[in-house]
Amino acid sequence: MPAALPGSTLTQNLANPSLGQAIIFDALSGPKGSPFDKDTSGNASTGAMCTGIGFGSNAGNAYINVNPGTVPATPAQALRNAGFTDDTGDGTGAANSNIVYIGGGRCAATVSPGLAVPNPYTAGFVPGNAGNGGSRDAGAGPAFTCFTGKWVTAVGAVANGAVVETGWVNRSGVTIAATDSVFGSSSAAQAAPV
């Protein structure tokens, strides 16, 4: 069933929510009409969250900044100290969905009973971001895609909803300062899962 955004009303969640807290959700079950959206009753849920559980792009854990403990004092080092890598998260370094799902999340049945061959997705599998003004569903329905995220760094103050780096928007819910890094939301829809 489609992903629900905490703080959005039921009516908004059953449509295309963008209000409420930012969440990270599964691209294959979170967007309405996605491959694993099997709900026909008009419900919404967490969208079967996969990777990123416990991490979101909200105030409190919205951004990573250079602080006195950052040596050398660079945004890239601050991200490393927090356990992340600059410019990662959008899936461009992954050839297929094996990095997101065990076995790639899909198998092709073979002629041998009980045997299936992994057949990972090669596009459209990167988890999506929504909330704080960012829409859950992208593109034209009924099979929607989502907007991905990646770590981006501000060169000046960036308000929520404004561009941090070309193609990536601040959806943290707060204004970030120069050298702050945030999990930015893409302004372009992800490709359809294949």
In a domain? residue 130: no
Q: For the chain, how many structural domains are there in total?
A: 1
pLDDT at residue number 188: 95
Where residue 104 falls (left for φ over 0; alpha for ψ -120 to 50; beta otherwise) is left
Instruction: Please provide the average confidence, as pLDDT, over all residues in the chain.
Output: 85
pLDDT at residue number 115: 77
The amino acid at 126? V
Q: Mean pLDDT, to the nearest integer, of 21-35?
A: 87
In a domain? residue 100: yes
Residue 183 and residue 194: Cα distance in Å, rounded?
25
In a domain? residue 183: no
Residue 45 and residue 43: Cα distance in Å, rounded?
7
pLDDT at residue number 111: 66
In a domain? residue 56: no
Domain that holds residue 100: 92-124
3-state secondary structure of 81: helix
In a domain? residue 114: yes
- Give yes or no for residue 49 having a pLDDT over 70: no
Residues 152-168: tens digit of each pLDDT: 999 999 999 999 999 99
Residues 63-114: tens digit of each pLDDT: 888 999 999 999 999 989 988 888 888 788 889 999 888 888 888 777 677 6
